[in-house]
Structure 1
Amino acid sequence: MIVDAVPQSDRLATSSAPLHPLIAQRWSPRALDPAATISDDALRALFEAARWAPSWGNSQPARFLVGRRGDDTFGRLLGVLSRGNQGWAGAAGALVLGAAVARDDKGELVPYAEYGVALAAQNLALQAVAEGLAAHQMSGFDKEAARSVLDLPATVEPVIVIAVGRLAAPGTAPADLAERDTRPRSRHPLNELVFTGEWGQSAF
């Protein structure tokens, strides 16, 4: 069952064609409920969704380290975030590091490993919507610090940190976060993104 995780109707994606609700509802809030927790079942569902993402040759290069708010892993992940992300991500119910197994057991490069992590992370984000949660993906973190504090193998590359949580109740979020989360959403129109015949010639 799909849960409507977006109480603000103006946060739905405005599109030129009907979208599946999971896609239309997915966005990246910063104002999260600092008291909300994530159940074991919901968290497991996120990683099952990630596990079934496509990957090159079924290489499955995506790996995840997860910490729940209050535990040691969460604290280490929070500590490697940029200062701006630290300001709001501490309210998440969980922080997740997405990493790529960049080399196989023979020491050879795994093709498209980071792309595989990206596909898995998007599956996770869409499943979060289905679970009534929000997932905010962040590139703003210190990768070398993450490698050190999480003792990552040399063959593994940190790619993304994802904050997972529940939206803060209206009127409870700090003003700066509420302002950022209510800015109009926008995307480039399709005629700037999809071409046919030759580059720049719109397909739609």
Structure 2
Amino acid sequence: MLNELEQIRLSKIADTDHEIFALLKQRYSPRIFGDQKIEENQLRQLFEAARWAASSNNLQPWRFIYAERESEAFDKIVDCLSDFNKKWASKAPILVLAIYKKETDDGKENFHAPHDLGLSLGNMTVQAQYLDIALHHMAGVDWKKAQKRFNVPEGYHVSSAIAIGYYGGELDDLSKDLQESERADRQRMPQEDFAFKNEWES
């Protein structure tokens, strides 16, 4: 007999219009995590996946600061999150700040740096799913505060935060509204709204 969280996880498997890689269908962004510790070797696997992402001119502009729960650095990351994200992300086993280098080594703007950071996080997300680890990416982070608290050098930009942990946990650990969010069906816009052949369609 599946418990409610296991049922929710099954219900989150994407109902795709076209067949895609199973790990992509299974991935979703929970706000609760199991108690199992993320081992250092598994973290290394996640960052290794990010390391091998495609990047413009092979500049690899991504940088990461990560911390384990119950550490001073973890609490500093929590302090930089939006109030909404603090409510649940403070219980994640690992928190990460995702950062990109804004310029090339010769001082020119690297227009593609945010794109490349996104590619690295995509790699990390799929690798995590392969390990049965969940990632929840968060835009709700005070990047100016994070840059100051973590002494991020000039020329780098804190872009987002990520909560990492194994799928699992206790639904009752979330507030009622977040419990409903966990139960909600996944929604995506249809391809016709974003993939246009030959010319832009309004």
Q: TM-score, normalised by structure 1?
A: 0.89
The Cα shift of 1:27 comes to 0.9
Instruction: Please tell me whether residue 182 in structure 1 is matched to residue 183 in structure 2.
Output: yes
Runs of 4+ in 1 over 4 A off after TM superposition: none
- Once the two structures are superposed, residues 122-141 of structure 1 have per-residue CA deviations (whole angstroms, 9 ceiling, x without a partner) of 11111111111100001101
The Cα shift of 1:188 comes to 0.8
Which sits farther off after the overlay, 172-181 or 84-93? 172-181
- The residue type paired with residue 133 of structure 2 is L
Contact 1:30/1:88 (8 A) holds in 2: yes
- Once the two structures are superposed, residues 137-171 of structure 1 have per-residue CA deviations (whole angstroms, 9 ceiling, x without a partner) of 01101010000000000011111101001233465
Which sits farther off after the overlay, 133-142 or 107-116? 107-116
Aligned match of 1:30: 31
Contact 1:31/1:178 (8 A) holds in 2: no
Aligned match of 2:79: 79
Contact 1:78/1:89 (8 A) holds in 2: yes
Aligned match of 2:137: 137
- How far apart, CA to CA, are the structure 1 residues paired with 2:127 and 2:7? 14
- How far apart, CA to CA, are the structure 2 residues paired with 1:115 and 1:172? 37
Give the count of matched residue pairs: 196
Aligned match of 1:99: 99
Aligned match of 1:194: 195
More helix by share: 2
Contact 1:93/1:164 (8 A) holds in 2: yes
- Once the two structures are superposed, residues 83-106 of structure 1 have per-residue CA deviations (whole angstroms, 9 ceiling, x without a partner) of 000000011111111100112333
- How far apart, CA to CA, are the structure 2 residues paired with 1:183 and 1:171? 13
Percentage identity across paired residues of the two chains: 31
- How far apart, CA to CA, are the structure 2 residues paired with 1:48 and 1:113? 18
- Paired residue secondary structure (2:14): coil
- The residue type paired with residue 64 of structure 1 is F
Contact 2:32/2:170 (8 A) holds in 1: no
The Cα shift of 1:7 comes to 6.4
What is the correspondence of 1:1-204 to structure 2 with a 5 Å cutoff?
A: 8-33=9-34, 35-169=35-169, 171-174=171-174, 175-200=176-201
- The residue type paired with residue 160 of structure 2 is I
Contact 1:56/1:111 (8 A) holds in 2: no
- How far apart, CA to CA, are the structure 1 residues paired with 2:110 and 2:7? 37
- The residue type paired with residue 118 of structure 1 is G
Gaps (5+ residues) in structure 1? Answer: none
- How far apart, CA to CA, are the structure 2 residues paired with 1:179 and 1:74? 27
- How far apart, CA to CA, are the structure 2 residues paired with 1:40 and 1:85? 25
Contact 1:6/1:25 (8 A) holds in 2: no
Q: Decide whether aligned partners of structure 1 residues 117 and 60 sit closer, same or farther in structure 2, where only a CA change above 3 A counts.
A: same
- Paired residue secondary structure (2:144): helix
Contact 1:89/1:163 (8 A) holds in 2: yes
Contact 1:92/1:166 (8 A) holds in 2: no
